[in-house]
Amino acid sequence: MIRQAFLPFSQPLIGPEEIDEVVDTLQSGWLATGPKTRRFEDEFRDYVGAPGALALNSCTAGLHIALLSLGIGAGDEVITTPMTFAATVNVIEHVLARPVMVDVEPDTLNIDPTRVEEALTLRTRAIIPVHYAGHPVDLDPIHELTRQSGISVIEDAAHALPARYRGRFIGSTTNPVAFSFYASKNLTTGEGGMLTADLDILNRARPMSCHGMSRDAWQRSDKSDYWYYEVKLPGFKYNMSDIQASLGLWQLSKLQKAQRRRRKIVEAYNRAFSELEELEIPVERPEVEHAWHLYVLRIRPQRLRIGRDQFIKELLARNIGTSVHFIPVYLHPYYRKKYGYSKEDFPVTYKNYQRMLSLPLNPRLEDRDVADVIEAVVEVVKTYWR
């Protein structure tokens, strides 16, 4: 039976606590970066066990100022993955460095460490692995490659809160790690992000996030020389507001419960879909704890009479919203034209892009919604199997 109301692919779960906290901020007289942003940074730092945390208005901002804080710029090469959102690669362009994309592993769809090794040159200054869908990248071989050479690792953890690699939270290491709090993410502040790193890097990044000023407005607010600041560099406007932090504080305190719900939904999907040869369910390697930001289902086109695009349309006709993560970055016109890429350049990425779709996965889903998604997917498979 087709469900009555459309089920959107993604919906944030905002409770009365978040709403009350935002109202409290609106009435407090302080809306911009202030005491709540500082508290959110401290609580986030403690949650993932990071050396320090800097709250920002996006993950993109975090990746950008991480590159700048490490002095990466024109003439440098940065290795990353094409199986990501364009922001990961755009920031490399922003600092005038050259993005060097390498193909992904067929199971996790994360950057393939052996291909990273093949792509290293004397100009390589950094690697940006992306914890795709929330499954941690195999970081040990990447750190092994970079340890001797002074190459930095900047993790794109937009999907990876909370995730663990070999028992450690993503974000608990000294290298820069950027998280996203965009509306669809596991923790949302509407728009927002967090950069974790050691204090040395954060002390360089913090002024860059607010015009290059020596002290932000909150730091100056109760001082006798409250009006005085110095601009030490031409920084950006990347700071988080206390309105955003109001959401973040409560979202963080509810994260564990939300993750338990995500996992339950994943288990229900896996149970239903692993029985169908036409489908391939996502992996979770034994050494990781997946953040389950996305549930990426792959169809086996040789076993079905329809492709991925039609599969999405069939689900839409059954009132189930889905998405695709991602249109590989190298296929976008800007990158295709600038670097002359063709479809075949990243065969693992391309093949998997053509057969993937992301199903709704968020703690707002009711058991009935999950059952509807399963019923619709199974029905489409059984209508079109060979």
Ligand X SMILES: Cc1ncc(COP(=O)(O)O)c(C=O)c1O
Bridge partners (DSSP) of residue 122 are none
Other CB atoms closer than 10 Å to residue 26's CB: what's the count? 13
Q: Is residue 58 a contact point for ligand X (CB under 6 A)?
A: yes
CB of 346 to ligand X, least distance (A): 16
Q: Assess 68 for contact with ligand X (CB under 6 A).
A: no
CB of 305 to ligand X, least distance (A): 32
Helix residue spans in 254-366 (DSSP H): 255-273, 308-317, 333-339, 347-354
> What are the backbone dihedrals phi and psi of residue 275, each rounded to the nearest 5 degrees, phi first?
-80, -10
Q: Which of 110, 124, 180, 189 binds ligand X (CB under 6 A)?
A: 180
In terms of CB distance, is 130 or 249 closer to ligand X?
A: 130
Single out the catalytic residue among 185, 223, 232, 264.
185
Determine if 163 is a binding residue for ligand X (CB under 6 A). no
Residue ranges in 182-241 that form contacts with ligand X under rule CB under 6 A: 182, 193
CB of 176 to ligand X, least distance (A): 13
If DSSP codes are grouped into helix, strand and coil, which group holds residue 30?
coil
Asked if 156 interacts with ligand X (CB under 6 A), we say yes
Residues with Cβ within 8 Å of 164's Cβ and at least 6 positions away in sequence, in order, are: 136, 170, 288, 289
Please say whether the beta carbons of 67 and 76 come within 8 A: no
State in angstroms the smallest separation of the CB of 10 from ligand X: 11
Question: Is 249 exposed, middle or buried (CB count within 10 Å of its CB: 0-12, 13-18, 19+)?
Answer: buried
88 near ligand X, judged by CB under 6 A: yes
Stretch that binds ligand X, among 7-15, 83-91, 145-153, 308-316 (CB under 6 A): 83-91
Active site residue 337: no
Closer to ligand X at the Cβ: 50 or 161? 161
What does the alpha-carbon distance between residue 77 and residue 92 come to, in Å, rounded to a whole number?
A: 9
Binding residues for ligand X, total number by CB under 6 A:
14
- Output the CA torsion 326→169→47→198 (10° steps): -90
Binding to ligand X, residues 113-142 (CB under 6 A): 130
Of the candidate spans 54-62, 143-151, 298-306, 331-339, the one that interacts with ligand X by CB under 6 A turns out to be: 54-62
CA proximity to 194, closest of 36, 60, 13: 60
For ligand X, the closer of residues 84 and 273 by Cβ is: 84
d(CA 178, CA 204): 15
DSSP state for residue 210 in the 8-state scheme: B
* Nearest distance, CB of residue 191 and ligand X, angstroms: 7
Least distance to ligand X from the beta carbon of 379, Å? 30
Among 33, 37, 80, 84, binds ligand X (CB under 6 A): 84
d(CA 293, CA 262): 8
Pairing relationship of beta strands 168-169 and 164-165 according to DSSP bridges:
antiparallel
**Tokens describing residue 279:** 């489908």
Q: Point out the residues that are catalytic.
A: 185
Question: Contact positions toward ligand X, by CB under 6 A?
Answer: 58-60, 84-85, 87-88, 130, 156, 158-159, 180, 182, 193
